Amino acid sequence: MTLANLRTHYTADIVPEKVKDGATVTLAGWVHEVRDLGGICFVVLRDREGRAQVTLVKKKIDRELFKAARKLVRESVISVTGSVKFEEKAPNGYELIPEKIKVLNLAASPLPMDTTGKVEAELDTRLDSRFIDLRRAEALAVFKIRHQVLQAIRKFLVEKGFLETATPKIVATATEGGTALFPITYFDREAFLNQSPQLFKQILMSGGFDRVFEIGPIFRAEEHDTRRHLNEATSIDIEVSFADHFDVMEILENLVAYTYTQVLENCKSSLEILGVELKVPQTPFKKLSYEEVLEIVNSRSDEKMQWGDDLSSQAEHLIGQYVFETTGESHYFIIDWPTEIKPFYAMPYEDKPKYSKSFDMMHRTMELSSGAQRIHLPELLKSRIESQGMDPEGFDFYLKTFEYGMPPHAGWGMGCERFVMTMLGAENIRDTVLFPRDRRRLSP
Ligand code: AMO
């Protein structure tokens, strides 16, 4: 039930358990379709929760009302007051016999794009007119699922004792390497949009917060123009004190499985609209070491991978295939990466410092998350910053916190869009963001 004047019910609320046959209700939404068959006219009203058929039989209804209904312009906003008639044959099991139709806002025509799904529009056309595109049932379904994903993640982490935090997005220092930063003017100084809450979530470990999570924007100035990169993404980050990389991998795989379960349970109609059949991933996820990955790739491909190389797309493809063939699962971890290709904060193994206590979580060919146990020892951290060609002075505010009692800690960051994208099998990451920011797109 909502604002009684403009609307009494959502279309989906009209069910025999909630509304009596013959009851008067007011629905509000968009004119999805007008079907004028001469003696009878059907108006399909669409709201966020579904559609309702408004039926006008010429002989039985006020002439002016009938004339007005026939002339309704598609995508205009209307409210319809009328009586409910449960009718098995009607699309949602009922029709509305109107007493009053109010046009609240007349839509111009032609529309910038089709909303019925009859004409398929290019991604760019859809994003240019995103407000209309979002009216398509498929687009709305993606965002209902994204909402559920975030709800599930919050619930899971809060129940495990995590505190939700919000750290600054305007910062003075790079976290993931200096090339991919967007500079901004901060009064008379240069500042940057943050690439990751990394340094701050670590500082909170020194602050004694023990386990924190944050869901917020990250900004990456990489010039990628691919179906899996955005310049503004949403990162789901956690950090845990007195934990190592294995502890936080376990949290991650359980969180992924839980989120799938919640989406399956709570988003049935959205999944149906998208034609997605979800399978909850089996835990624990397979763990392959970087060494094993090298071996598998080099035994299966002519393109040889050297120690210290990052995974090429061909290598990712081979490994994703290998895991799927051997386990039937899409999710897996690649662990123990070379220290030199992971960020400075990843903890090297004490007995084999060439390797770090780091991991990536993958879905087939896509990296969804990366994480590590962190260096909590100030001297080692300083030398790692230096050996990556950065100046420790710029990290003063961060390094200081390691000198006065920093517990061992570990954490990870996962891209929300990539998570939703792989869950739904979306072709392009842009479909999982309301208003994507990429190399070419700054508006809307
Ligand atoms: P990383 O840089 O690997 O790690 O980012 C973590 C995850 O964020 C997502 N992501 C992106 N998604 C879309 N477009 C992008 N341009 C983009 N960049 C990153 C990915 C990626 O796996 N501080 C570490 C995390 C940690 O160790 O806690 C970090 O930011 O899904």
Kindly state whether residues 308 and 389 are assigned to the same domain.
yes
Kindly state whether residues 159 and 78 are assigned to the same domain.
no
Ligand 1 contact, 338 CB (< 6 A): no
Ligand 1 contact, 235 CB (< 6 A): yes
Kindly state whether residues 79 and 208 are assigned to the same domain.
no
Ligand 1 contact, 232 CB (< 6 A): no
Task: Report the alpha-carbon distance of residue 268 to residue 311 in Å, rounded.
Answer: 36
Kindly state whether residues 160 and 208 are assigned to the same domain.
yes
Task: Report the alpha-carbon distance of residue 251 to residue 256 in Å, rounded.
Answer: 9
Residue with tokens 């390094």: 399
For the segment 406-418, what is each residue's pLDDT rounded down to a tens digit? 999 999 999 999 9
Q: Which residues pair with 94 in a beta bridge?
A: 86
Kindly state whether residues 181 and 305 are assigned to the same domain.
yes
Q: What residues are labeled active site?
A: 220, 222, 228-229, 367, 370, 418
Q: DSSP per residue over 68-130, as a string? A: HHHTPPTT-EEEEEEEEEE-TTSTTSEEEEEEEEEEEEPPPSS-SS-SSSSSPPPHHHHHHTH
Residue 367, pLDDT score: 97
Angle of CA points 367, 372, 377, to nearest 5°? 155
Residue 266, pLDDT score: 98
Residue 1, pLDDT score: 47
Pocket test for ligand 1, best of 169, 218, 416, 430 (most atoms within 8 A of CB): 218
Note whether residue 389 is domain-resident: yes
Residue 178 CA, distance from chain mean position: 26
Kindly state whether residues 370 and 416 are assigned to the same domain.
yes
Kindly state whether residues 98 and 142 are assigned to the same domain.
no
Q: What CATH number did the domain enclosing 10 receive? A: 2.40.50.140
Note whether residue 123 is domain-resident: no
Residue with tokens 């917060």: 209
Note whether residue 398 is domain-resident: yes
Last residue of a domain, one of 86, 105, 124: 105
- Regions in the chain scoring below 50 on pLDDT: 1
Ligand 1 contact, 165 CB (< 6 A): no
Kindly state whether residues 395 and 278 are assigned to the same domain.
yes
CB 358 within 8 A of CB 403: no
Kindly state whether residues 90 and 138 are assigned to the same domain.
no
Q: What CATH number did the domain enclosing 227 receive? A: 3.30.930.10
Picking from 235, 334, 327, the residue whose alpha carbon sits closest to that of residue 283 is 327
CB 367 within 8 A of CB 410: no
Note whether residue 437 is domain-resident: no
Note whether residue 22 is domain-resident: yes
Element (H, E) at 202: helix 198-206
For the segment 284-295, what is each residue's pLDDT rounded down to a tens digit? 999 999 999 999
Residue nearest to atom 28 of ligand 1 (CA): 412
Last residue of a domain, one of 88, 105, 122: 105
Kindly state whether residues 176 and 88 are assigned to the same domain.
no
CB 14 within 8 A of CB 69: no
pTM: 0.96
Note whether residue 172 is domain-resident: yes
Kindly state whether residues 74 and 173 are assigned to the same domain.
no
Kindly state whether residues 263 and 386 are assigned to the same domain.
yes
- Exposure on the CB side of residue 381, measured as CA atoms within 13 A: 21
End-to-end CA distance of the chain: 32
Helices and strands (H, E) in the chain, number of each type: 12, 16
Residue nearest to atom 19 of ligand 1 (CA): 415
- What is the span of the domain harbouring residue 177? 133-432
Domains contained in the chain, number: 2
Task: Report the alpha-carbon distance of residue 144 to residue 276 in Å, rounded.
Answer: 14
Residue 95, pLDDT score: 97
